[in-house]
Structure 1
Amino acid sequence: MITLSYPHHSPRRFACALDAALGPLVEIPAALLVVAEIVVLLAGVTSRYVLRSPLVWSDELAEILFLWLAMLGAVVALRRGEHMRMTAVVGMCSPGVRAFLDMVAIAAPLAFLGLVMWPAVQFAQDASMVTTPALSLSDSWRAAAFPVGSGLMLLVTVVRLIREANWRLVIAALAAVFAIGCAFVALGPVLSNLGNYNLLIFFVGLVALGVLSGVPIAFSFALATFGYLALTTSTPMTVVVGRMDEGMSHLILLSVPLFVFLGQLIEMTGMAAAMIAFLASLLGHVRGGLSYVLVGAMYLVSGISGSKAADMAAVAPVLFPEMKARGAKPGELVALLAATGAQTETIPPSLVLITLGSVTGASISALFTGGMLPGIVLAITLCALVFWRNRREDLSHVKRAGAAEIVRKLLIALPALALPFVIRMAVIRGIATATEVSTIGIVYTVLAGLLIYRRFEWARLKPMLIETASLSGAILLIIGAATGMAWALTQSGFSGELADTLAGLPGGAATFIAASIVVFIVLGSVLEGIPAIVLFGPLMFPIARQLGINDIHYAMVVILSMGVGLFAPPFGVGYYSACAVSRIHPDQGMKPIAGYIVALVIGLIVVAAVPWISTGFLHQ
């Protein structure tokens, strides 16, 4: 009789082989989806503007492919360990505790993915009853991306746990997550009678526990939302999947992966180097010179894409390598990038401004006019802090460029410097939508790289496309989870109670604006701008009008307040988007960003105290 024996590490060996097979199985389709989105959107622009024969199905096909790109990108990011985590607290723990919390950071996503799989399958089945208008396809072709992506992420987390050398840690982490889940289920009858106190338990307590324990931000948000709806309401869990789907597949967010890829192309073709060489010759001898360039660049490109993550993806890859080479610390860079994201929230054409105008009745053209100057005010406060922080920078080794050198580098950089203006002109003139315009930038950059700068590294395209999918998936999963959390808040009745409380405050308009600033900073840290506007705009603006506050003035205060919250750690989603885009760990920016948040708040107070900043150009 022959007995087969297996070494004790065979499961780990099998897991490693499975992981190696999963890599190309997911990465190659994700990369091809990025290419497909570029081709589909570019075909739509070309057909509409050049051939005068619009493709009625291009946006629809792009939206179907987009959810697949987002979910497969999230799988790639999870396999690579690239989902955003905050590990500042974890890093202060002993090695043993730190190793345990690292396992919890895998076990918690496993719990959510296990819970959401069946609702995700049901959601895809329900979508089969909907037919797309242009292509006449069942919507389940699009919705199936969620259960497929969730299943692949579930497989990836199981593989990661099997590969772990210390089984005691794995079992302890799974037991801890299971025990916390059982405790919440056991307390279900008590929780159902607590009303809106559950908002504090789940969206403050549970989210904080997850985030501070190092659980990826997206899964911390998603677990809190799932737990709140499952244990305190009668809402079907397919709703959680539907809200995450809605947040991740909004067509305007398609600009995120395309601008991420555009940023990589700018670097690869040498356009970034040309721009940096010119800017360095112009401001290189000034203390903090390239930091001023970053503030100005975000002001110029903001609003083009409709997404702050996409705006940051267009700027950071161009400036950060040179800034690091000149001695800038990574934490300082990501802090300033996040701060400029908040600074430019009011710059048109902004989707937040358009949404606010549509739900409150405020004039969109007036909002566009009123949004320019508040952004400049906040830029001034940020530049003041940049000046202060760099006042002792040693520039003795930096030689000031002469006029001839500046002109020469300007001529070399002109094709690259023209790119933001080409993109903005395409949007303003109606050649392309905010979603499509990134494809024009991609074509422009490819042609400039091939014909002008004579630099195009074909071998880098595949890893660039995979990296684009991974980074986009990490960002979009956070946005999807935040959208689900925002929807859960809307169902609680919290918004109406808050509006009634603010309306009853003594002190008139000044107190109401001050309270609004505090409230919208807090709301901005847990809600994306658009859900918060849709939820609170119709409630708050009538109160402001009754108190004699100009709509445009109040709009600027609200939007900037939400921007500060959105980019403020530890809960601000925008901060983690900045970290993801710049490939800098969130922990590194925690300390530097505090000063920038203070500078933004000072600028916000100036905008709130001086209505003319928002309304001065409306009647001229």
Structure 2
Amino acid sequence: MALPQAAVADGAREADGLFRTALYRLESVVGGLVSTAAALLVAAEIVLLFAGVLARYALHTPLIWADELATILFMWLAMLGAVIAFRRGVHMRMTALLARARPGLRGLLEVLALTVPLAFLLILLPTAIEYAEEEAFVTTPALGIANTWRAAALPAGMGLMAFMALCRLARAESLGRSALGLVLTGAAVAGLVALAPAFPPLGNLNLLIFLVAGVALAVLSGVPIAFAFAICTMGYLGLSTDIPIFVMVGRMEEGMSHLILLAVPLFVFLGLLIEMTGMAQAMVAFLAALLGSVRGGLSYVLIGAMYVVSGISGAKAADMAAIAPALFPEMKARGADPGDLAALLSATGAQTETVPPSLVLITIGSVTGVSIAALFAGGILPAVVLGIMLCLVVRHRYRHEDVSHVRRASWAEIVRSFGIALPALALPFIIRAAVVEGIATTTEVSTIGIIYAALAGLLLYRRFDMRRLGPMLVDTASLSGAILLIIGAATAMAWSLTQSGFSADLAHAMTNLPGGAAGFMAVSIVAFIVLGSVLEGIPAMVLFAPLLFPIAHQLGIHEVHYAMVTILAMGLGLFAPPFGIGYYTACAIGRVDPDAGLRRIWVYLGALLVGLVIVAAVPWISVGFL
């Protein structure tokens, strides 16, 4: 006897529910294991590098193998962190247009943001496995082990990300939409493969097809930037050149494995640590006691606090998350417009991009060979110039503010708050001095900062929640993995541009711009504002810094000066609506509707642009302390 239709439907729904539950549990188990491994790797890197510092400076017996082991562990940390970021859906991507799409189209684009990376991962995975096998013939000099131990991180991470993508597609609310996304992606890949014979005769026109139009389409559609770079580079190499995509795996590994980049997760963790221990709040409290009673005083505090905290964490989201919750409630109580608060927070994010130890400074040093110590020294004054310009806007905007009801802190209170904040205020100077004076490398000094912050939290501020350490280590791995995967993909793309001859053509065109060095600088400012708004800071720098810095040097522009100008221009684009993702991050942290800040932010951005022009016109601001 046939079952009633309703019973069949109920049975199907129950089976579907059981399947989704089982799949979710499997994903959770795998994700938990990956998170635990990544957290342990972050902790191991901190211990290993700090042990290296102690062995060299205290015991005068350097650990020769320490850097080599740190590099091996770092590759696994980068790839497992990328897996965590993929599972959480926090890989950097442009969502400005996605958010404005109709619900149906938005849902399909969200699916494509999974299926496009999945296509890249499945296509490149066999080559990554082959690459790891080939590295077995290379032996590390200090440890004497096969380089496969490091290279295997690439296929392992790719395989796990592919697994996470399949799980998320299978658990999607609309399986039909997931299937449509897979079909569309598969059809696009098949269509490009079928057209493969037509691409080689087009020569460098393929650069426009794959690396301009393809990347733009993918990024604007909401595909994570790292995967947009990666799949378009793979398509360019595989379909229009005779270069095997095996080379791409090597370039990605090379881009992600620079030991200097190990400073990225360590400074990210340091930023989380100073927020957890109360060091950031202590600095804000001192500045508020000093300036809180003047017109616009808390806005000045926000500008100064972002400058000081940037000198510790190096991560912009961590900076804003440490400052905004401490200041915004009181600023709103004084009648400040929420939109103006989000606009100013966003502007201070752009202003402090050059404050060491900025992750962008570290990235530029790793891809261009410019001394990171010189970049750290050169980044201090440019941010001061832009901060002064923001202060002028604040002074004008709050010139009529009524502060008669605000209690002025006594000198005793100011001195007491300074004493409480002094250990925290000393940390940025310790970090800068240690690097600039050559006492420690950029990577090593981050571990010194971590130990210092942990001791300050335990002994002085008495705020050290051991239960938060695990999640902080996982968050560090996730953010670091997202950043490093972009660097790896962008390195492969930059190498492709170089091999195509594009870099030589670009150098010739930029060198012959009218106006010489001034014309080149002006074009660079405009270009990096646009690039910063579309690609974000780190991928933009990884892609174009190796191409443009030699041109700047050829035109007589100091590399540190050029670095400061391009970083500030990039920051201007990164925090400028409607495309700059930094603006939306500031709004999310401040819990302000993005539309509320749109009318307010342009005056601040205009002030930053004036400051940028001053920095570009006066090289001494960037190189005077070198």
TM-score category (smaller protein): 0.7 to 0.9
**Quick one: which of 508, 517, 536 aligns to 2:548?**
536
CA-to-partner distance for each residue in 1:408-457, whole Å, 9 max, x for gaps?
11112222222212222332443321101111111112211222222221
Query: 1:33, CA displacement in angstroms?
Result: 0.6
| Secondary structure of the corresponding residue to residue 454 of structure 1 | coil
> Which residue is 2:470 aligned to?
462
Query: 1:310, CA displacement in angstroms?
Result: 3.4
| Secondary structure of the corresponding residue to residue 431 of structure 1 | coil
> Which residue is 1:548 aligned to?
none
Q: 1:368 to 1:255 in 2, by over 3 A?
A: closer
The whole-number CA distance in structure 1 between the counterparts of 2:292 and 2:235 is 52
Query: 1:50, CA displacement in angstroms?
Result: 0.7
| Secondary structure of the corresponding residue to residue 500 of structure 2 | coil
> Which residue is 1:315 aligned to?
319
Q: Does 1:34 align with 2:42?
A: yes
| Secondary structure of the corresponding residue to residue 480 of structure 1 | helix
Q: Is the 8 A contact 2:350 2:571 kept in 1?
A: no
> TM-score, normalization: structure 2?
0.84
Q: Is the 8 A contact 1:517 1:557 kept in 2?
A: no
> Which residue is 2:442 aligned to?
434
Higher mean alpha-carbon deviation, 406-415 vs 346-355, is at 346-355
| Secondary structure of the corresponding residue to residue 468 of structure 1 | helix
> Which residue is 2:561 aligned to?
556
Query: 1:372, CA displacement in angstroms?
Result: 5.3
> Which residue is 1:60 aligned to?
68
Q: Does 1:8 align with 2:15?
A: yes
Query: 1:557, CA displacement in angstroms?
Result: 3.9
Q: 1:217 to 1:332 in 2, by over 3 A?
A: farther
Letter matched to residue 143 of structure 1:
A
> Which residue is 2:350 aligned to?
339
> Which residue is 2:433 aligned to?
425
Q: Is the 8 A contact 2:529 2:572 kept in 1?
A: no
| Secondary structure of the corresponding residue to residue 423 of structure 1 | helix
| Secondary structure of the corresponding residue to residue 34 of structure 1 | helix
CA-to-partner distance for each residue in 1:379-424, whole Å, 9 max, x for gaps?
3334445556666877676433222211111112222222212222
Structure 2 unaligned regions, length at least 5: 1-10, 333-337
Q: How does 1:153-192 map to 2 (within 5 A)?
A: 153-192=161-200
Q: 1:476 to 1:285 in 2, by over 3 A?
A: farther
> TM-score, normalization: structure 1?
0.85
Q: Is the 8 A contact 2:490 2:542 kept in 1?
A: no
The whole-number CA distance in structure 1 between the counterparts of 2:516 and 2:464 is 61
Higher mean alpha-carbon deviation, 491-500 vs 156-165, is at 491-500
Higher mean alpha-carbon deviation, 520-529 vs 198-207, is at 520-529
Query: 1:225, CA displacement in angstroms?
Result: 1.6
Q: 1:106 to 1:40 in 2, by over 3 A?
A: same
The whole-number CA distance in structure 1 between the counterparts of 2:358 and 2:93 is 30
The whole-number CA distance in structure 2 between the counterparts of 1:56 and 1:582 is 46
Q: Is the 8 A contact 1:263 1:313 kept in 2?
A: no
Letter matched to residue 94 of structure 1:
R
Q: What fraction of aligned residue pairs are identical, expressed as a percent?
A: 52
CA-to-partner distance for each residue in 1:193-213, whole Å, 9 max, x for gaps?
333332232233222222222
Q: How does 1:119-198 map to 2 (within 5 A)?
A: 119-198=127-206
Q: Is the 8 A contact 2:211 2:232 kept in 1?
A: yes
The whole-number CA distance in structure 2 between the counterparts of 1:452 and 1:465 is 23
Higher mean alpha-carbon deviation, 529-538 vs 188-197, is at 529-538
> Which residue is 1:244 aligned to?
252
| Secondary structure of the corresponding residue to residue 202 of structure 2 | coil
Q: 1:530 to 1:106 in 2, by over 3 A?
A: closer
Higher mean alpha-carbon deviation, 94-103 vs 277-286, is at 277-286
Q: Does 1:229 align with 2:240?
A: no
Q: Is the 8 A contact 2:56 2:63 kept in 1?
A: yes
Q: 1:314 to 1:373 in 2, by over 3 A?
A: same
Q: Is the 8 A contact 1:206 1:224 kept in 2?
A: yes
Q: 1:340 to 1:129 in 2, by over 3 A?
A: farther
Higher mean alpha-carbon deviation, 71-80 vs 342-351, is at 342-351
| Secondary structure of the corresponding residue to residue 469 of structure 1 | helix
CA-to-partner distance for each residue in 1:96-153, whole Å, 9 max, x for gaps?
2222211111111111111221121122112222211111111110111110011011
> Which residue is 2:487 aligned to?
479
Q: Is the 8 A contact 1:276 1:318 kept in 2?
A: no
Q: 1:30 to 1:503 in 2, by over 3 A?
A: closer
| Secondary structure of the corresponding residue to residue 15 of structure 2 | coil
Q: 1:575 to 1:63 in 2, by over 3 A?
A: farther
Q: How does 1:193-592 map to 2 (within 5 A)?
A: 193-286=201-294, 289=297, 292-293=300-301, 295-296=303-304, 310-312=314-316, 315-325=319-329, 326-327=331-332, 332=343, 335-344=346-355, 373-385=381-393, 387=395, 398-508=406-516, 510-519=518-527, 528-529=540-541, 532-542=544-554, 544-545=555-556, 551-552=557-558, 556-557=561-562, 559-561=564-566, 563-565=568-570, 568-569=573-574, 588=594, 591=598
Q: 1:106 to 1:560 in 2, by over 3 A?
A: same
The whole-number CA distance in structure 2 between the counterparts of 1:277 and 1:594 is 29
Q: Is the 8 A contact 1:255 1:438 kept in 2?
A: yes
Query: 1:265, CA displacement in angstroms?
Result: 1.8
The whole-number CA distance in structure 1 between the counterparts of 2:206 and 2:402 is 53
> Which residue is 1:76 aligned to?
84
The whole-number CA distance in structure 1 between the counterparts of 2:344 and 2:496 is 34
Query: 1:458, CA displacement in angstroms?
Result: 1.4
Q: Does 1:20 align with 2:31?
A: no
Q: 1:144 to 1:367 in 2, by over 3 A?
A: closer
CA-to-partner distance for each residue in 1:28-60, whole Å, 9 max, x for gaps?
111111110010001000111111111111111
The whole-number CA distance in structure 2 between the counterparts of 1:506 and 1:369 is 32
Q: 1:470 to 1:291 in 2, by over 3 A?
A: farther
Q: Is the 8 A contact 1:341 1:567 kept in 2?
A: no
Q: Is the 8 A contact 1:516 1:558 kept in 2?
A: no
> Which residue is 2:611 aligned to?
603
Query: 1:157, CA displacement in angstroms?
Result: 0.7
Letter matched to residue 318 of structure 1:
A
| Secondary structure of the corresponding residue to residue 138 of structure 1 | coil
The whole-number CA distance in structure 1 between the counterparts of 2:266 and 2:356 is 20
Q: 1:463 to 1:512 in 2, by over 3 A?
A: closer
Query: 1:579, CA displacement in angstroms?
Result: 7.5
> Which residue is 1:86 aligned to?
94
The whole-number CA distance in structure 1 between the counterparts of 2:356 and 2:462 is 37
Letter matched to residue 220 of structure 1:
A
